[in-house]
Amino acid sequence: MIDNPFYSHEFHGDYDLVSIGRLDLEEGGSIADCQLAVATFGTLNDARDNAILVTTWYSGTHQIFRDVYIGPDHALNPERYFIVVIDQIGSGLSTSPHNAPDEIAMSNFPKVRIGDDVVAQERLLREHFGIETLQLVVGGSMGAQQTYEWAVRFPDKVKRAAPIAGTAQNTPHDFLFGKALVEAITSDPGFADGEYKSNADVVAGLTRHAGIWAVMGFSTEFWKQEVWRALEFGSKEEFLAGFLEPYFTAMDPNDLLCMAWKWQRGDVARHTGGDLAAALGRITATTFVLPINEDMFFPVRDHEAEQALIANSELRVIDDVLGHLGLFGVAPTFMQQVDRHLGELLAR
Amino acid sequence: MIDNPFYSHEFHGDYDLVSIGRLDLEEGGSIADCQLAVATFGTLNDARDNAILVTTWYSGTHQIFRDVYIGPDHALNPERYFIVVIDQIGSGLSTSPHNAPDEIAMSNFPKVRIGDDVVAQERLLREHFGIETLQLVVGGSMGAQQTYEWAVRFPDKVKRAAPIAGTAQNTPHDFLFGKALVEAITSDPGFADGEYKSNADVVAGLTRHAGIWAVMGFSTEFWKQEVWRALEFGSKEEFLAGFLEPYFTAMDPNDLLCMAWKWQRGDVARHTGGDLAAALGRITATTFVLPINEDMFFPVRDHEAEQALIANSELRVIDDVLGHLGLFGVAPTFMQQVDRHLGELLAR
């Protein structure tokens, strides 16, 4: 167990740690006492039928949703809905390699799949809150993978689904992108096969990892138009050194690797012997598929191919020069689009 | 000086090493005896006015042009033209860090710019072959950078120009991609600040470098459609292990870094105080700008923006799911398109 101050209330505001007990994992092994970090917004009604689940992305937590996505002016309106954001396993707040008990800590942490997260989340919602159905499951990137997993695994529980900038079946290109990210970290001699003493020991690897995100996370136009100037940086180097690098170097390497492994292998067709059409055919939720037009690794066409396999669905493309990391909601037009789409979806 | 068997006639067929004497460099310093590797095809006519210059890309040499681009069935027809392929400085065949005399060997190799290459090439063509004008300058990727540099620096000598999948002014996104490639190599402890004893000492870094090329060099659709099957590989892992990794691990790390530094900083606007329009306005060559539609780091729109600034020019987009590395000419339709465009250009 490593004491990493980033994974704290100071940086992530209010949240609760909820134990769901023992979680047996798809790849074998288990987490004896799985704890999920949960942030809620709004009030669960007496019928317990006004809940929305928000799932989290690689390196993200509930905090970005609190800061950007959720509020009385947004479609994710806590005055109407009980909004539950559950941080994924490996996020650093929920049970993760860096905070796990010794027997599964650090390099001994078991492999976790998207399906394990969704099983854990369903149990938490049911046992802790008494929630049996969800008005909406929504998430971006790895959160989209969890959203799809929810809609395929628990079709009766999901009325609406909104995967943003992420696919139901991870693509081979995405797998290779994940591989490059993983290798940037694990190749750092300070990584020490996962048994470093502090994330600071792996700062070189985490910085290279940030550098690969710079190439793939934004669009070519983001850099060409120098959009980072709107964030009050004076050069792309300052933007890297002042934003992207500190963002990732604060994090725990094993936690990132836990999430990356999951991300690389996300695939709802595991439920149907590899048949993606059959898996997506199970979805009964009204589904809006929300790619970002400038996304370099979850491109629109990959969303389009999956959306065509979902019965009650629409493709709603978000225009954002930031590309994938438009998910941070930096562009003033990003949340306008998300709110319009989610608002229309919730009105269905 | 390192003995690397890859940089030999065995792997690169016939070529000559031509000394152009002392080359003073834009960044300061000089190469006392600059040698350029040159492969020629066809016969120079008595008027010395049937020459075509082909420039080379990052990691590439004349050999790919011999194998794929040049021949009696191609627009680059040695029965009509005297075709000169000059390997760039740092290519491993021309003067390069790994083969340079001790005083500028390895980590002591001076910084070289695209402009230095073009000055060296012009001198070689004039002094060695007596060539004063070129029917065409053509090259892909970094070869496109050299093509633009030729057309801007020596407008009276270039009748036609065909930059393929590369820009006149390198983009910030491309700079960051280059940075990620560089860091994959230099972060390998075996790199030893450039003073390794063999490229084999840096195999881990070169392999990660290949892994980043896998992400950016091809398109997302290349991987999704498993186009590597057409190359008789059984899985994407086999394709990496059997093609992309051995391709790069055979090469010299310092040589790659020499080319990467140049590539990152290619910019014809250095001639005009940063004014790209003014620089491209100098071009008098009939110019066909040939992007590849699936290129992830030299995207079509970046070509389009530059083409609009060139007086006598057309944008001719090549359709190739391979993306940037379509330049290898693997797709049966690639050379058909290149030949059609170059044939039409040469008929102007």
What domains, with CATH codes, occur in chain B?
9-170+269-346 (3.40.50.1820), 175-258 (1.10.1740.110)
pLDDT tens track for B177-203:
999 999 999 999 999 999 999 999 999
pLDDT, mean of residues B210-226: 98
Q: What is the pLDDT of residue A80?
A: 98
A with B: how many residue pairs have Cβ under 8 Å apart?
A: 88
pLDDT, mean of residues A54-72: 98
Share above pLDDT 70 across residues of chain B, in percent, rounded to a whole number = 100
- Which amino acid is it at A258? C
Q: What is the pLDDT of residue A1?
A: 85
Confidence band of B314 (pLDDT split at 50, 70, 90)? very high
Nearest to A144 by CA among A45, A346, A289: A289
Residues 6 or more apart whose CB falls under 8 angstroms from that of B274 comprise none
Q: pLDDT at residue B1 above 90?
A: no
Chain B residues within 8 A of A172 when measuring between CB atoms: 223-224, 226, 236
State the Cα–Cα distance between residues B260 and B256, nearest whole angstrom.
6
Instruction: Please give the angle made by the CA atoms of A4, A6 and A11, to the nearest 5 degrees.
Output: 150
pLDDT, mean of residues B26-51: 98
Strand partners, A18: A36
pLDDT tens track for B53-94:
999 999 999 999 999 999 999 999 999 999 999 999 999 999
Produce one character per residue of B301-313: b if its CB has 16 or more CB atoms within 10 Å, e if not: ebbeebbeebeeb
Q: What is the pLDDT of residue B8?
A: 96
DSSP character for A298? S
Q: What is the pLDDT of residue A146?
A: 98
Instruction: Answer whether A187 sits within 8 Å of B183, measured CB to CB.
Output: no
From residue B307, alpha-carbon distances to A154, B160, B175, B334, B344 in Å are: 52, 14, 21, 21, 17
pLDDT tens track for B93-103:
999 999 999 99
State the Cα–Cα distance between residues B166 and B58, nearest whole angstrom.
11
Share above pLDDT 90 across residues of chain A, in percent, rounded to a whole number = 99
Its sign, for the CA torsion B58, B64, B65, B69, is: negative
* Cross-chain CB nearest to A176 (options B214, B226, B301): B214
What are the contacts of A24-31 at 24+ separation with CB within 8 A? A25/A110, A25/A111, A25/A112, A25/A113, A25/A116, A26/A113, A26/A115, A26/A116, A27/A110, A27/A111, A27/A112, A27/A113, A28/A110, A28/A111, A29/A104, A29/A110, A29/A111, A30/A110, A31/A89, A31/A95, A31/A100, A31/A104, A31/A110
Chain A residues within 8 A of B187 when measuring between CB atoms: 187-188, 204-205, 208
Contact (Cβ atoms closer than 8 angstroms) between residue B62 and residue B18: no
Share above pLDDT 90 across residues of chain B, in percent, rounded to a whole number = 99
Closest CA of chain B from A179, distance in Å:
8
Reading the block at residue B30, the tokens are 């000089």
Confidence band of B140 (pLDDT split at 50, 70, 90)? very high
Nearest to B82 by CA among B133, B119, B36, B121: B133
Q: pLDDT at residue A245 above 90?
A: yes
Half-sphere exposure of B127 (CA within 13 A, CB side): 11
State the Cα–Cα distance between residues B329 and A29, nearest whole angstrom.
48
Q: pLDDT at residue A118 above 90?
A: yes
Confidence band of A253 (pLDDT split at 50, 70, 90)? very high
- At residue A106, what are phi and psi to the nearest 5 degrees? 50, -125
Q: What is the mean pLDDT of chain B?
A: 98
Q: How many residues does chain B have?
A: 348
Closest CA of chain A from B158, distance in Å:
29
B192: left (phi over 0), alpha (psi -120 to 50) or beta: left
Instruction: Answer whether A236 sits within 8 Å of B172, measured CB to CB.
Output: yes
Q: Please state whether beta strands B82-86 and B35-41 pair in parallel, antiparallel, or not at all (unpaired).
A: antiparallel
Its sign, for the CA torsion B176, B178, B182, B184, is: positive
pLDDT, mean of residues B138-159: 98
